[in-house]
Amino acid sequence: MSRESVRGAWRVARTRLRPCYPRPGRTGWRRWLPSLRQSLLLCAWSLLLLVGLVWWAYATTSIPADLNAYATQQDNVYYWADGSEMARVGPVDRQAIPLDRIPVAMQSAVVAAENASFYSDPGVSPKGIARAVVNMATGGDRQGGSTITQQYVKNVYLDQDQTISRKVSEILIAVKLDRSTSKDQILDGYLNTSWFGRGAYGVQRAAKAYYGEDVSQLNTSQAAFLAGLLKGAGQFDPSVSPANHSRAVARWNWVLDRMVKTGKLSAARRATYTTFPEPIAPPKPAGLGGQTGYLVDTARAYVSAHSGISDRLFDRGGYQIYTTFEKPKVDALAAAVKEQTAKLHPATRAADRNVRVGAASVATDGRILALYGGPDYVKQGFDDADISIVPAGTAYAPFVYAAALRDGVVRQRDVPRARVGPDSQYDGDDGAPIQTPEGPYWSRDGKVVKTANAGGRSYGPIALGKAVAEGVNGPVEQLGVDVGLNRVRQASIDAGLLPDSGFAEQVPSFSLGTSTPSPIRMAAGYTTFAAGGTRTDPYSVLRITHDGAAVPLPKPVVTHPFTAKVAGEVDDALREAVATGAGHAAAQAGPGLAGLPGTAPDNTSASFVGYDADMATAVTLFRIDPKTQQLEPLTGLGGRSAKKPGSDYPVKMWTRYTEAVRPPAGSTS
């Protein structure tokens, strides 16, 4: 064939193969609409390309030879502020058990709850994959699209990152694993590697953690509860909170219903399960006796709230948590509390029974230096340093005073807010009627509300600063109404109390401390006055590492809710309180101290909150009925006269502790 013939043939072929696009014979935008033939060709080529890519990815993906970091889990180690080791907590509790020792009911509950088509699917679910893609795009349930095989792959071969590339790897490995491994082997591996909460990996340790039983002893009802935990143990452990309990019950019912729907449980048998199988209380980790367990719990909660480390990852261990806690202060605080509570006689005096104490020291830069959560973490796991059911009492007065100094008061209708200061005069007489801009404040029972000073004492006209220092209730109660109780509440939140600090009904007695902030938060609130109006959120962790590598941890929030002038005037009143006023019993701890005692309006708590230039400490004492968990009055505590409310034990504990931890006079340390 000649060269010209070849060129001619090529021109013909090129003409015939050239795509007719834009389409001839059409005008405007219609030229750009592809024909049916062109659309079908495009779809066909796209499908071929997609198939080729999937085939290539499948061919080049292999089941990893090594397990992920799960296989080398470690303890989490907590350190004191000086870097010495405080505690080792081994949250990873696992024990493999053969599938034939796991009850069929347990297996059936898990399959019904997690992947009803497990025995028939190819390791993945097309519908589930589509759902997972949508969920990842919209922030929905990240577990919703995974089969049991996929979850097992993620548990032992991959990490927990929610990324498209990780999801693709999970799907491909799951398909290969399903083709090379029996369903029983996959289910065996899944049940022995899944996280059930309470640090338990694997169904055997979960059975021990929640029911104290070998998994072989579980009944169908208990199995349904454990299967429900796989969706997210942190949300379904009923011991964590009432909300968790409600979710756990609903999830348990759902799993049982699913077992009926999948044919693994008869409807008649299902009808017999009407009582939720309450699990046992979470076991206390060994080595956390005394105050250590309270400290570990506090630091653990801070890590959970601020580090971005999920409970699942944290329970895999390998973290080093460097806390703010100073051992000498922790020991001194515990000793001071023990010294005073040893004077009680619960065996012979009913008023001395069920006494509890919570205490906390917070530095002016927010570091939590010491806690007293109870006599022993192993005996009493509930942390009384972070309890939020005990009224602050009259130690709340500085927040009322600060709100007035910052926001001013309204005493007459249609008159702008007026400034007040330490020398502003108020009525200090007992029984003075509470006034509003419209007239007397009437209670719901139709009576005028009147002030009630401690001991019924009247002071006559008294300056605000002196009223706070002397602990005179009447002026503080009236001041709260003048400022506006909503503003008082906001000022205390600005100072460091939490918005959910049990703020009670906003009636005049609100200013006498009916709210229930924890000792940690009361101490943190007082540091705002010690620090010249600067508030730093309390924190218990300095830094975190994982196998030596730093883990990002945001710095605590710092705000400036009060001017230096306002904070200074509150500070003056609190210093006067210790020097000559209501807190004078604390003066023996040394110079330069400020603070105020507190007694709840209903006499259910007594406290002392005070500070020096470096830290604030709050000590709260209360009685609580162990059966009803209701607060009991302190009347007669320690042999105190029934006519005299409150208790002087908190100020004695505070003073003894402060004496022990303050550097000697003239010391620069």
pLDDT digits (tens, 9 = 90+) for 81-120: 999 989 988 645 556 678 988 999 999 999 999 988 888 8
Q: Cα angle vertex 128, ends 126, 131, to 5°?
A: 110
Q: Mean per-residue pLDDT for 229-248?
A: 89
The mean predicted confidence, pLDDT, of the chain is 86
Q: Which helix (H) or strand (E) holds 355?
A: strand 355-363
Cβ density class 451-488: b for 16+ within 10 Å, e for less = bbbbeeeebeebbbbbbbbbbbbbbbbbbbbbbbbebb
How far apart, in whole angstroms, are the C-alpha atoms of residue 411 and residue 438? 9
Residues 289-302 have pLDDT tens digits of 899 999 999 999 99
The model's pTM:
0.69
Per the model's pLDDT, the better-predicted residue between 17 and 660 turns out to be 660
Share of the chain above pLDDT 90, in %: 61
Three-state secondary-structure class, residue 517: coil
Q: CA nearest 207: which of 190, 234, 227?
A: 227
Angle between helix 203-211 and helix 183-193 axes, rounded to 10 deg = 40
Among candidates 475, 463, 453, which has minimal Cα distance to 572? Answer: 463
CA distance 601 to 622: 13
**List of residues 6+ apart from 486 with CB closer than 8 A:** 506
Residue 260 has pLDDT above 60, yes or no: yes
My answer on whether omega of the bond before 517 falls inside 30° of 0, hence cis, is no
Q: pLDDT higher for 33 or 622?
A: 622
Tell me which range, 35-49, 388-402, 655-669, is most confidently predicted by mean pLDDT: 388-402
> 623 near 632, Cβ under 8 Å?
yes
Token pair of 245 as six digits: 């309990």
**Pick the residue with more confidence: 472 or 188?**
472
Half-sphere exposure of 457 (CA within 13 A, CB side): 10
Q: Give 341's contacts (C-beta < 8 A, 6+ positions apart).
A: 355, 357, 649
> What is the distance between the alpha carbons of residues 518 and 623, in angstroms, rounded to a whole number?
15
CA angle 607, 491, 602 (to 5 degrees): 35
Question: Which residue bears the tokens 């600063």?
Answer: 465
Average pLDDT score over residue span 270-292: 87
CB 299 within 8 A of CB 323: yes
Q: Which residues contact 569 (CB under 8 A, 6 or more apart)?
A: 401, 405, 421, 422, 465
pLDDT digits (tens, 9 = 90+) for 129-187: 666 556 655 555 444 558 887 788 777 765 545 555 556 666 777 777 777 788 898 89
Determine the pLDDT at residue 28.
Answer: 67
pLDDT for the residue numbered 153: 79
**Residue 72 pLDDT:** 44
Q: Which residues pair with 605 in a beta bridge?
A: 622
8-state DSSP, 433: B
Letter string b/e over residues 344-357, b meaning 16 or more CB atoms within 10 A of that residue's CB? beeeeeebbeebbb
Alpha-carbon distance 424 to 435, whole Å?
16
Look at residue 71 in the predicted model and tell me its pLDDT: 46
Check whether 241 has a pLDDT greater than 60: yes
Spell out the SS3 assignment of 211-272: HCCCHHHCCHHHHHHHHHHCCCHHHHCCCCCHHHHHHHHHHHHHHHHHHHHCCCCCHHHHCC
Burial class (CB in 10 A: 0-12, 13-18, 19+), 490: middle
What's the pLDDT at 193? 81
Alpha helices in 371-472 (DSSP H): 397-407, 464-470
Q: How many whole angstroms separate alpha carbon 467 and alpha carbon 474? A: 9
> Could you report the per-residue pLDDT of 383-424, keeping only the tens digit for each?
899 999 999 999 999 999 999 999 999 998 888 999 999 999
Beta strands in 405-559 (DSSP E): 425-427, 435-436, 439-440, 461-463, 535-536, 541-546, 549-551, 558-559
Query: In the prediction, which pLDDT does 88 show?
Result: 81
The residue written with tokens 């400490």 in the block is 617
Domains present along the chain, CATH in parentheses: 3-60 (no CATH), 92-270 (1.10.3810.10), 394-515 (no CATH)
- Per residue, what are the HEC states of 567-593? HHHHHHHHHHHHHCCCCHHHHHHCCCC
**The pLDDT of residue 174:** 73
Give the residue-averaged pLDDT of 26-45. Answer: 67
- How far apart CA 142 and CA 149 sit, in angstroms, is 15
418: which DSSP letter? B
User: Which tokens in the block code for residue 307?
Assistant: 């580090």
pLDDT tens readout for residues 513-531: 999 999 999 999 999 999 9
Is the pLDDT score of 560 beyond 60? yes
Instruction: Read off the pLDDT band of 224 (50, 70, 90).
Output: very high
Residue 192 main-chain phi, psi, to 5 deg: -95, -5
Distance from C-alpha of 215 to C-alpha of 208, rounded to nearest angstrom: 7
Residues 309, 303 contacting (CB under 8 angstroms): yes
Residue written as token pair 């619960």? 346
Higher pLDDT, 318 or 434: 434
Residues 187-218: tens digit of each pLDDT: 988 898 888 888 788 898 899 889 998 899 99
How far, in Å, CA of 594 to CA of 599, rounded? 17
Q: How confident is the model at residue 29 (pLDDT cuts 50, 70, 90)?
A: low
* Crossing angle of helices 104-114 and 183-193, rounded to 10°: 90
d(Cα 11, Cα 634) in Å, to the nearest integer? 106
Res 65: pLDDT:
47
The structure tokens listed for 643 are 């006519």
Query: At 374, is the pLDDT very low, low, confident or very high (cuts 50, 70, 90)?
Result: very high
Contact (Cβ atoms closer than 8 angstroms) between residue 386 and residue 376 = no
Residues 6+ apart with CB under 8 A from 571: 529, 530, 594
